[in-house]
Structure 1
Amino acid sequence: MPETPVLYVLNGPNLNLLGVREPHIYGRETLADVQALCEAAAEGATIVFRQTNREGELIDWVQETRTAAHALILNPAGYGHTSIALLDALKALTIPVIECHLSNPAAREEFRHKTFVSLAATGVVSGFGAHSYELAIKAALRLVRERSSSADRLNPDHKA
């Protein structure tokens, strides 16, 4: 992997409608605004930012992170509550996975209180609107740096 951290930010269904769909819950920021926020928070890391409404495509991208990314920030949207296949893809990863939500699912309808993604996530950031993504980027960068530092201590010849 390259020395510059690569963070994938993957977004599930209906997030292309941010700013339009239920702004009282999800805010008025668009997905482009969220992408810009992620890129500004990246501290020089490479951000690969994608959104899809198709479950299979999201799973393909998660699998891609196995060899292409240092960490994954994932807003699974509705797939978090329904997709065992997404959970299985996440379980194949060895990189940090940060589950990210604009709203606080635990404060909403009961069916949103739990996600399958949480079973495979390193951590969860939710309830801060678009700022949740910025917090998730910061957490992912910290985890990547900690792993790199640990690997350097264990093997002084290691290249991050």
Structure 2
Amino acid sequence: MTQSPSNSADSMPTVLILNGPNLNLLGVREPHLYGHETLGDVQRTCTELGRTLGVHVDLRQTNAEYQLIDWIHEHRTTTAGLIINPGGLTHTSVALMDALGAYPPPIMEVHISNIHRREAFRHHSYVSLVADGVIAGCGTQGYALALQRLCTLIAKSPTT
């Protein structure tokens, strides 16, 4: 799932929103934990909010760790910031952490459920070690909260 800028000649910065394994099943998989909103709903909400905040939103999802890493590498210098919900890779992927560590713009980590109220193995996040902020337990609203915070960080960034 990709949302490209509607006008590439436009000077609005782009925010990349990456979603990891199983988030393609959002709204279907364990709705008691993740709610009934779909990734399409998240995309619509973030795209509309992005317009209000003055950014383009490019939302993507993959079940492949290498694809997340490739997207991070590819967009190191072409995006103003990154929001990532790494799914289960949060707790296991040093490679993803390393790729994010090489991404210069601000990074926000998002989790739909409160990972700290779940199984003990979910309490540790490799991604948090390189993220500028973490939002967990706010449902899909966490994406909008992360986008608002990311835009604040982008505005404060010395490179903008």
TM over 0.5: yes
Runs of 4+ residues over 2 Å off in structure 1: none
Distance 1:108 1:29 in 2: 20
Q: How does 1:24-35 map to 2 (within 5 A)?
A: 24-35=32-43
Does 1:134 pair with 2:113? Answer: no
Once the two structures are superposed, the pairs formed by residues 6-155 of structure 1 within 5 Å of their partners are: 6-42=14-50, 43-147=53-157, 150=158
Deviations 1:57-82 (A, max 9, x none): 01001112211110000000001111
Give SS of 1:66's match: coil
Cα distance in 2 for partners of 1:6, 1:36 equals 15
Amino acid at match of 1:57: Q
**Superimposed CA distance per residue, residues 132-159 of structure 1 (whole angstroms, 9 cap, x where no aligned partner):** 0000000011111111xx45xxxxxxxx
* Number of residues of Structure 1 aligned to a counterpart in Structure 2: 149
| Aligned-residue offset at 1:94 | 1.3
Q: Summarize deviations over 1:30-70 as a string: whole Å, max 9, x none.
A: 01001111112112311110000000001001112211110
Q: Quick one: percent identity of the two aligned structures? A: 50
**Counterpart residue type for residue 86 of structure 2:** P
RMSD (Å), alpha carbons: 1.2
Q: Indicate the SS of the match to 2:36.
A: coil
Q: Match for residue 7 of structure 2?
A: none
- Please give the TM-score of this superposition, normalised by the length of structure 1: 0.90
C-alpha distance in 2 between matches for 1:64 and 1:24? 35
- 1:3 Cα offset (Å): 3.9
* Letter aligned with residue 51 of structure 1: Q
Partner amino acid, structure 1, of 2:87: A
Normalised by the size of structure 2, how large is the TM-score? 0.90
For 1:122 and 1:65, locate their aligned partners in 2 and report how far apart those are by CA, in whole Å: 17
Equivalent position SS for 1:19: coil
Which consecutive unaligned segments of at least 5 residues does structure 2 have?
1-9
